[in-house]
Amino acid sequence: MTMNHTLHARMLTTLLVGIAAVAPCLGGQSAPSKSKSSNFAIITNWGDDTCSLVSVESVEKTREAEQISVIKVGAKPYDVKVESGGRFAYVTCSGADFISVIDLQANLEDQKGRIRIGQGPRDLVLSPDEKRIVVANSGEDTISVVDRASGQQLYTVPVGNIPYGVGLARDGKLAVITLWGSNQVALVELGETAGRVLKHIPVGNLPYTVGIAASGDLALVTCFGSHRVDVIDLQSMSLLSPSVEVGKSPWGLAISDDGASALVANFYAGSASFLQIAPTEKNALSPHRSPVSEVARVDLASELKEQSSPAAGPVQAARHRAKNSSISSDGLVALMTDLSRNKVMVLDMKSRKLRGEISVGHAPYGIAFIPKR
């Protein structure tokens, strides 16, 4: 680390100590209120077994910024989620079969707190009350349900062929799991000590990520091989039509906290699709009129070319591989990881313009804003 990075890391630590000082105690609480995003985000670097901490505001002045600090974690970190207090981050280590727990206050992984789960863990999600973590184990066709307070796996549920994405609805009692190997979504009822698959729903090819709209009625699924987002009505447990055509090979998906919009990372297209989710009355979804539509598609290479500063020189075109995204709680800013250039792109959600880029580690896969109180 350079001297500047060390200084920034200390400043970040101090800042986060301040945040943590007013954060709620862990566990045992009623459902936490929605937290505001801080200026900070955490990214998993799949290619070098680390996580990066970045400051979103760092691109305001310079457009190109660097990560603030780097934290070593387990092998092949895939997805990351941060609890509402902003102190602990949970990272699935797909090459090591555990969840790394990062103490953001101390800026390091709590190695003794590693949570053993199934093989090849991919996406994870915290339950609304943050008492549980649900993880897709792509290496053994199960999901794990973990008790966050004790750091112990409570049970697993066999779900189907190569589970990747996880979403939770109905106050955490319904899990929506993408099955990459069979082009399906599994709807899984989660109990206190066991779970069961309620239904398998066919979707497009190679479904990776699932997002749950704020109402809890809709699940959006990126279908990498079919170049579309499928929409599932969770009340009727059925697929809505039409699907939403997006760019080539959609992978990551983020839904805004207000449930009104979504952002899709189109991997081989190097583009971002902005989706609108129209409000609907409960139980009033029509099977043939999906409330989700694409309202804009932004070519990331064009964005960069337009906005590069003259001093930077000519920008190489069309070299983006957008993998994942996260939207700030206020819905104003989105972050998108770029696997080919090892950067995080900062997008303005209103103008849909690129604000800047932050260099991170190798192959940035997972991304999450760090909440503040």
Partner 1 sequence: MASPLFQKDSCRTFVGTLPGLLVCAVLPSFAAESGFPAPRPAYGIYFGDPLPWLSEAEQQQFQLGFQVFEKNWGPSDGAGDHFNAESCVSCHRDPLPGGSGSRDDSFILLQPAGTRPRKLSRLFRDETGSVRQLPPPGGVFRRRTPALFGLGLIEVIPAGQIAARASLQPEGMRGRPVWIDGRLGRFGAKANVPDLEEFTEDALHTELGIPTEVIATRLRVDGSLQNLLQYLRGLAPPSPRPSWDPDSRGARLFQMLECSVCHVPEYRIRLETASTKNEEVVIRPYTDLLVHRMGAARSDLSDAPDIRADEFRTAPLWGLASVGPPYLHDGAARSLTDAILMHGGEAQHSADQFKALSAEEKEALLEFLRSL
The owner of tokens 């990747």 is 164
Contact between 268 and partner 1 per CB under 8 A = yes
Which three-class secondary structure string do you get for 285-331?
A: CECCECCEEEEEEEEHHHHHHHHCCHHHCCCCCCCCCEEEEEECCCC
| Smallest distance from partner 1 to CB 76, Å | 9
DSSP summary character for residue 36: E
Contact between 47 and partner 1 per CB under 8 A = yes
Please state, in angstroms and rounded to a whole number, the distance separating the CA atoms of residues 52 and 45. Answer: 7
Contact between 159 and partner 1 per CB under 8 A = no
185: phi then psi, degrees, rounded to nearest 5? -120, 135
Please state, in angstroms and rounded to a whole number, the distance separating the CA atoms of residues 227 and 190. Answer: 30
| Smallest distance from partner 1 to CB 181, Å | 5
- How is residue 226 written in tokens? 């079919």
Nearer to partner 1, 224 or 369 (CB): 224
> Quick one: 171 exposed, middle or buried, by C-beta within 10 A (0-12, 13-18, 19+)?
exposed
User: Residue 219, Cβ neighbours under 10 Å: how many?
Assistant: 28
Contact between 48 and partner 1 per CB under 8 A = yes
Number of residues lying near partner 1 (CB under 8 A): 27
Q: Which of 7, 22, 75, 312 binds partner 1 (CB under 8 A)?
A: 75
> Reduced to 3 DSSP states, what percent helix, strand and coil does the chain have, rounded to the nearest 5?
10, 50, 40
Nearer to partner 1, 37 or 337 (CB): 337
Q: Which of residues 197-226 bind partner 1 (CB under 8 A)?
A: 205-206, 225
Please state, in angstroms and rounded to a whole number, the distance separating the CA atoms of residues 241 and 232. Answer: 9
Please state, in angstroms and rounded to a whole number, the distance separating the CA atoms of residues 205 and 325. Answer: 21
- The 8-37 contact track toward partner 1, x by CB under 8 A, reads ------------------------------
Contact between 183 and partner 1 per CB under 8 A = yes
Q: Which of 95, 191, 242, 287 binds partner 1 (CB under 8 A)?
A: 95
Contact between 40 and partner 1 per CB under 8 A = no
The CA-CA-CA angle for residues 84, 88, 91, to 5°, reads 110
Please state, in angstroms and rounded to a whole number, the distance separating the CA atoms of residues 61 and 352. Answer: 18
Contact between 158 and partner 1 per CB under 8 A = no
Nearer to partner 1, 38 or 337 (CB): 337
- The 115-134 contact track toward partner 1, x by CB under 8 A, reads ----xx--------------
Please state, in angstroms and rounded to a whole number, the distance separating the CA atoms of residues 148 and 124. Answer: 12
Please report, to the nearest 10 degrees, the dihedral formed by the alpha carbons of residues 144, 150, 151, 152 taken in order: -40
Q: Beta strand 142-147 with 207-212: parallel, antiparallel or unpaired? A: unpaired
- The 272-301 contact track toward partner 1, x by CB under 8 A, reads ------------------------------
| Smallest distance from partner 1 to CB 319, Å | 5
| Smallest distance from partner 1 to CB 122, Å | 11
| Smallest distance from partner 1 to CB 225, Å | 5
Query: With CB under 8 A as the contact rule, which of the stretches 51-59, 64-72, 179-187, 239-247 interacts with partner 1?
Result: 179-187
- How is residue 231 written in tokens? 């929409």
Please state, in angstroms and rounded to a whole number, the distance separating the CA atoms of residues 47 and 362. Answer: 5
Contact between 46 and partner 1 per CB under 8 A = yes
Longest dimension (CA), the chain: 60
Q: Which of 339, 354, 358, 367 binds partner 1 (CB under 8 A)?
A: 339
Query: With CB under 8 A as the contact rule, which of the stretches 80-88, 102-110, 176-184, 347-355 interacts with partner 1?
Result: 176-184
| Smallest distance from partner 1 to CB 280, Å | 33
Q: Which of 39, 182, 215, 276 binds partner 1 (CB under 8 A)?
A: 182
| Smallest distance from partner 1 to CB 224, Å | 8
The owner of tokens 């996260």 is 326
Chain residues in the site for partner 1 (CB under 8 A): 46-48, 75, 95, 119-120, 138-140, 161-162, 180-183, 205-206, 225, 268, 319, 321, 339-340, 342, 362-363
